[in-house]
Amino acid sequence: MSEHAFGAQHLGRPNGSRFMAEPPVRFLGGLVIRSETWVGAFTEFGRNIEIQSARLGRYGEMGPGSHLGATSHPTTWMSASAFQYRRSTWGWHPSASDVEVVDPEADGRPSFRGSRGEAPAQIGNDVWLGANVVVLRGVTIGDGCVVAAGAVVTKDLPPYSIAGGIPARVIRPRLDADLAAELQELAWWRFSPNQLSGIQFDDPRRAVEQLRERVPDLEPYDPGFTEIRKPAAAARRRRNPFRR
């Protein structure tokens, strides 16, 4: 355990992508990132999560098996395989090194990626994703959302909503609209848990009253972003699994 991340030995970066985080963050096991990833403080990752392209806010709870920033594939082409449009997928092998790939956005035509293209998924503050949630690229999940296990999020979710299903749809608001608006205005996630100590967490309306009294005297918690890497010793153990 380091001063910046709990469980950093579980971080995998197969293509050397950077994991930039406001410390602290917490990994419970098996997080793999495929592109540069930015994460806010006090966010926890369950086991076996893959991030292809995403930006995450603070105080998030990412359920085990989640897939963030998943890419699309063509369903109206000859094949759904990426060999048709992404040379890097198979171009490393002699049998696929000379294929002429197709640009999905050539001549301004509609792309199978949709209008959002390859934009990262944007996940707000205080978001809880249940187990095995899939979030597509370009989707925004608002602050305070809860997404049920197994959901596939294909469209934006408004703040403080509870959503579920395939594709994910809003089931109901998480809190009354006025209360959700006040929490967003106060942006309590700007502060550390120590700064929030004593707030009546289990009574949101009372918590809002207390926050209004306290926030003017608080300095936002701002540790800056740090690149999180797997500890060198853990990396060596992974490269030499049979070494005694």
Same-domain pairing of 54 and 9 = yes
Residues 105 and 34 in one domain: no
Q: What is residue 186's predicted lDDT score, i.e. its pLDDT? A: 97
12 and 47 in a single domain? The answer is yes
| 29 neighbors 9 (Cβ within 8 angstroms) | no
Token pair listed for 70 = 């998943």
End-to-end, the C-alpha distance of the chain in Å comes to 23
Residue 68 resides in a domain: yes
The identity of residue 25, as a single letter, is V
167 and 153 assigned to the same domain: yes
Q: According to the 3-state scheme, what is the secondary structure of 95-153?
A: HHCCCCCCCCCHHHCCCCCCCCCCCCEEECCCCEECCCCEEECCCEECCCCEECCCCEE
Q: Which residues pair with 21 in a beta bridge?
A: 39, 226
Quick check: is 146 in a domain? yes
Domain annotation covers residue 211: no
In this predicted structure, the answer to whether residue 66 has a pLDDT above a threshold of 50 is yes
Comparing CA positions, the residue from 215, 145, 126 lying closest to residue 135 is 145
Mean pLDDT of 31-39: 85
Residue 18 is encoded by which pair of tokens?
A: 């950077």
Does the structure show a pLDDT above 80 at 105?
no
- The sheet with strand 49-51 has its strands ordered as 11-12, 31-33, 49-51, 67-70, 134-136, 152-153
Mean pLDDT of 24-51: 88
pLDDT for 238 = 41
Residues 10 and 101 reside in one and the same domain = no
Average pLDDT value for residue range 62-85:
86
Weakest mean pLDDT among 2-11, 90-99, 145-154, 222-231:
2-11
Torsions phi, psi for 223 (to 5 deg)? -80, -10
Q: Name every residue whose Cβ is closer than 8 Å to that of residue 26 and which is 6 or more positions away in sequence.
A: 5, 6, 7, 43, 44, 45
Does residue 18 sit in the same domain as residue 67?
yes
Collapsed DSSP state (helix, strand, coil) of residue 39: strand
Query: Is residue 58 in a domain?
Result: yes
Query: How many structural domains are present in the chain?
Result: 2
User: Quick check: 39 and 56 in contact, CB under 8 A?
Assistant: yes
Q: Is residue 154 part of a domain?
A: yes
Q: What is the pLDDT of residues 131-188, one digit of tens each?
A: 999 999 999 999 999 999 999 999 999 999 999 999 999 999 999 999 999 999 999 9
What pLDDT sits at residue 159?
98
The whole domain housing 137 covers: 5-72+115-174+227-239
- HSE-CB at 211 with a 13 A cutoff on CA atoms is 22
* Rounded percentage of the chain residues whose pLDDT exceeds 90: 55
Do 81 and 170 sit in the same domain of this protein? Answer: no
28 pLDDT above the threshold of 90: no
User: Does any domain span residue 180?
Assistant: no
Q: What is the pLDDT of residue 9?
A: 64
Residue 53 neighbours by CB distance under 10 Å: 22
Mean of pLDDT values over 63-87: 85
> Domain check: are 105 and 159 in the same one?
no
Alpha-carbon separation of residue 206 from 46, 126, 209, 211 (angstroms): 31, 18, 5, 9
